Amino acid sequence: MRPERLEDLVGQQELVGPQGLLRRFWEEGSLPSLLLWGPPGSGKTSLARMLAVHSKKRFRFLSAVDAGVKDVRAVIEEGNGLFKPLLFLDEIHRFNKAQQDSLLGAVESGQLTLIGATTENPSFGLNPALLSRCQLLILQPLGTDELHQLALKAVTQDAELRALGLELVESNALVRHAQGDARRMYNLLEWLAGSLAPENGVRRITDQAVLAVLPHFAVYHDRDGDQHYRLISALIKSIRGSDPQAAVYYLARLVSGGEDPVFIARRLVILASEDIGMANPQALLLASATLESVARIGYPEARIPLSQTTLYLSLSPKSNSAYLAIEAALEAVRLAEQQPPVPEALSNPVTKMQKDLGYGQGYQYSHEGPHHFVHQDFMPPSLRGRVFYQPAGNEREQAYQRWLQDHWPEYTLGSRDSG
């Protein structure tokens, strides 16, 4: 069912349509080295084969899963002849730096045309030198209409499926199971062809029939790849943006894909301090309890405390004042030419010599003052009046700000750094 012409390719119209970059390469007959980045079943291999045939280059296929430098060099040596090969290197991100470097000279000199395919973000898995020598093309997962079109084409044109009497009556469940992956959908069709009972010689594909044969729905998710980082980023940003509906949706995507619940819970703990912090200190307690809970119980029950905490954090007031405070203090420490000594009044006199040196002299025990507070200097003299923690505008921290203004008037709380 692989297409032989660009006109037969379903999907990727931004690349192969009238204004597409691949269309221009096709029409001009000039094919640079390419990197095709897209999810499984989006057409990377089909595109590479069509481009090789059209350019009249010798097509060579290698998979980085089991190929090595020796295999690459054998293809490069073919480039010394009359016909320059086109090397399609599948899963190119699995090559290490040395293996990727073995391609650089041949790609630069034109001994071969490289088409690398990857499901991973090339900026993570590929050397900058190789990236700079190739044109990056991004392929999208196939849409509902495109998958329906491919399924209809398969049951009407594939000889084996036609001989089995497959008839596509409904495709919603089939497309849903395919998850934008044409190869996966074709595999499902073959499975259905051998599983559906014929009625009057016809095996009818309906949504009910698909769900009866394929009751379990698996969401595509790569726990180590780009999808992993994009989904967790979407979850965190949705919680930070106080959108519980979007947050629990992205959580469901992660859970359905089998993401490690401990990983999700750890990110919620970080968010509870970084994005909520002083506005609602209870958030950190709940997130920490969730981390401990999901580590103990695992799936499927872990989804429930993860959902509870995700919703609670989404609906909680937000503040990043704790994050900004420590960052400002760390910056002050980093930029200081010399760190000032701790005031002697704050140093604990353990030995007689320390007492003789003045350790602890002048210190007033805070609990002996009214409301357990005694106004005294805690900052080194060179940092007095310096503000690192600035209360945010939420109700809880505004109460903190009023308290600070009453008890520490020397700090200018309108600015984080008054020094």
CATH code where residue 206 lies: 1.10.8.60
What residues are paired with 114 via a beta bridge? 87
pLDDT of residue 275: 96
**34 and 125 both lie in a single domain:** yes
User: Is this prediction's pTM over 0.85?
Assistant: no
Task: Write the CA distances from 361 to 183, 340, 345, 346, integer angstroms.
Answer: 78, 18, 5, 8
Pair 42, 132 in one domain? yes
| pLDDT at residue 280, as a whole number | 96
- pLDDT value of position 174: 86
Both 154 and 52 in a single domain? no
- Alpha-carbon distance 152 to 205, whole Å? 11
Question: In the listed set 78, 112, 138, which residue is the last one of a domain according to the structure?
Answer: 138
Q: What is the pLDDT of residues 361-419, one digit of tens each?
A: 888 889 988 999 989 888 898 888 889 999 999 999 999 999 998 898 887 665 444 33
Which helix (H) or strand (E) segment holds residue 63: the answer is strand 58-63
What pLDDT does residue 225 have?
Answer: 56
Confidence (pLDDT) at 259:
86
Look at 79-83, 130-134, 164-168, 190-194 and tell me which has the smallest mean pLDDT.
79-83
Assess whether 25 and 104 both reside in one domain.
yes
> What percent of the chain has pLDDT above 90?
30
Q: Which of 230, 306, 227, 220 has its CA nearest to residue 263?
A: 306
Q: How confident is residue 196, by pLDDT bands cut at 50, 70 and 90? A: confident
**Structural domain total, the chain:** 4
- Please say which residue of 185, 213, 241 terminates a domain: 213
Question: Pick from 79, 25, 18: which is nearest to 47 by CA?
Answer: 25
Residue 278 has pLDDT above 90, yes or no: yes
Do the beta carbons of residue 310 and residue 354 sit within 8 Å? no
Scored b (16 or more CB within 10 A) or e, 228-247 reads beebbebbbebbbeeebebb
Q: How confident is the model at residue 205 (pLDDT cuts 50, 70, 90)?
A: confident
Same domain assignment for residues 19 and 125:
yes
Structure tokens at 230: 């994009």
* Run of H or E residues at 28: helix 21-28
Beta strands (DSSP E) in 80-189 are 85-90, 113-118, 135-138, 166-168
pLDDT by residue (tens digit) across 289-333?
999 999 999 888 999 999 999 999 999 999 999 999 999 999 999
36 and 120: one domain? Answer: yes
Q: In this model, does residue 216 exceed pLDDT 70?
A: no
Dist. CA 53–CA 263, nearest whole Å: 46
User: How many CB atoms are closer than 10 A to CB 144?
Assistant: 13
Mean pLDDT of the chain: 86
The percent of residues in the chain predicted with pLDDT above 70, rounded, is 95
Cβ(283)–Cβ(316) below 8 Å: yes
218 is a domain residue: no
Residues whose CB is less than 8 angstroms from the CB of residue 91 and which lie 6 or more positions away in sequence, other chains included: 63, 64, 65, 117, 118, 119
CB 167 within 8 A of CB 203: yes
Domain of residue 206 covers 144-213
